[in-house]
């Protein structure tokens, strides 16, 4: 797979992940009452709704700006655990709403994989051949 294809797949998967996280975080602010009912049903405290929404926005900024590789890694880890816990909570109460989080988990893993692949390709391109 060439670098152009890798970059395209990274941008597509990261763009879809971004859309999912933006919709989720925006809904936390716009539909707080509905979201708090769902959080209560899932067994999560409602006081984490606003901080979680802010963390999602900040995580997306960390991924897209590429300001710090460590910060980007932490953002991916945060999304991974957030989505994994959401998926397991929906499976646990058997409400059938685990599919969006399953898609989210697939998007996080795909975006992360292609990000690492791009970093590796870029590092190999920078190493001079002796």
How many other CB atoms are found less than 10 A from the CB of residue 22? 13
DSSP assignment of 5-45, as one string? HHHHHHHHHHHHHHHHHHHHHHHHHHTHHHHHHHHHHHT--
Q: Report whether 4 contacts 12 (CB < 8 A).
A: no
Region 40-51 average pLDDT: 93
**pLDDT tens figures, 5-29:** 999 999 999 999 999 999 999 999 9
pTM for the model stands at: 0.88
**pLDDT tens figures, 46-83:** 999 999 999 999 999 999 998 899 999 999 999 999 99
Region 85-112 average pLDDT: 91
Q: Name the packing angle between helices 3-30 and 99-126 (round to 10°).
A: 140
Residue 18: alpha-carbon gap to chain centroid: 7
């Amino acid at each position: 797979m060439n670098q152009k294809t890798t970059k395209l797949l990274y941008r597509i998967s990261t763009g879809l992940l971004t859309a999912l996280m933006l919709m989720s975080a925006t809904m936390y602010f716009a539909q707080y009452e509905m979201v708090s009912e769902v959080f209560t049903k899932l067994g999560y405290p409602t006081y984490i709704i606003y901080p979680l929404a802010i963390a999602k926005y900040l995580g997306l900024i960390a991924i897209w700006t590429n300001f710090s590789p460590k910060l980007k890694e932490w953002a991916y880890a945060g999304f991974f655990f957030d989505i994994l816990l959401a998926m397991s909570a929906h499976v646990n109460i058997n409400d059938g709403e685990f599919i969006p989080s399953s898609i989210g988990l697939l998007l996080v893993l795909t975006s992360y994989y292609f990000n690492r692949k791009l970093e590796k390709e870029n590092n190999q391109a920078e190493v001079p051949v002796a």
